[in-house]
């Protein structure tokens, strides 16, 4: 089972030239079709990752993870991008239940910031 998954990753990696870290790696990988160009690509998550994380991922960072601005999310985060057409693979599409990757921990304050909701303490105001 794990072997089949690894073989599939290596098959896609040969075409897309994306890295497949092995051993004690913080990265988790899965394959899916890019929503725009339909190329089969590898998408990554990593240990400690949160939803739309703006903390840098661990080194060495796969070259298809970039800090990008998403108009839809109205914020920047470390996103998986397609190695062919460079479009962001949105987190809704790469994580379960729609995508191949296990869901990262949610991060309420980050989600609130993305939504443009400021908590009172963020404004430095007394509550």
Where helices occur in the chain by DSSP H, the ranges are 2-16, 91-94, 108-114
At its nearest, how many Å lie between Zn ion and the CB of residue 13? 16
- The region of 2-10, 31-39, 51-59, 88-96 touching Zn ion under the rule CB under 5 A is 31-39
- The region of 17-25, 76-84, 95-103, 109-117 touching Zn ion under the rule CB under 5 A is 76-84
What residues form DSSP beta bridges with 40?
Answer: 33
Q: How far apart are CA 80 and CA 15, in angstroms?
A: 17
- Residues that bind Zn ion (rule: CB under 5 A) add up to a total of 6
* Residue 66 lies near Zn ion (rule: CB under 5 A): no
* Residue 82 lies near Zn ion (rule: CB under 5 A): yes
Residue with Cβ nearer Zn ion (43 or 101)? 43
Nearest residue to 92 (alpha-carbon basis) of 46, 32, 40: 32
Distance from chain centroid for Cα 123: 29
* Residue 94 lies near Zn ion (rule: CB under 5 A): no
């Amino acid at each position: 089972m794990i072997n089949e998954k690894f073989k599939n990753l290596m098959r896609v990696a040969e075409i897309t030239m994306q890295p497949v870290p092995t051993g004690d790696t913080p990265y988790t990988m899965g394959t899916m079709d890019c929503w725009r160009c339909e190329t089969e690509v590898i998408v990554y998550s990593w240990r400690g990752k949160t939803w739309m994380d703006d903390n840098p991922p661990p080194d060495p960072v796969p070259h298809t993870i970039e800090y990008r601005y998403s108009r839809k999310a109205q914020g920047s985060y470390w996103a998986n991008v397609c190695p062919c057409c460079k479009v962001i693979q949105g987190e809704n599409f790469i994580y379960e239940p729609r995508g191949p990757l296990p869901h990262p921990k949610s991060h309420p304050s980050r989600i609130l910031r993305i939504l443009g909701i400021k908590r009172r303490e963020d404004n430095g105001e007394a509550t």
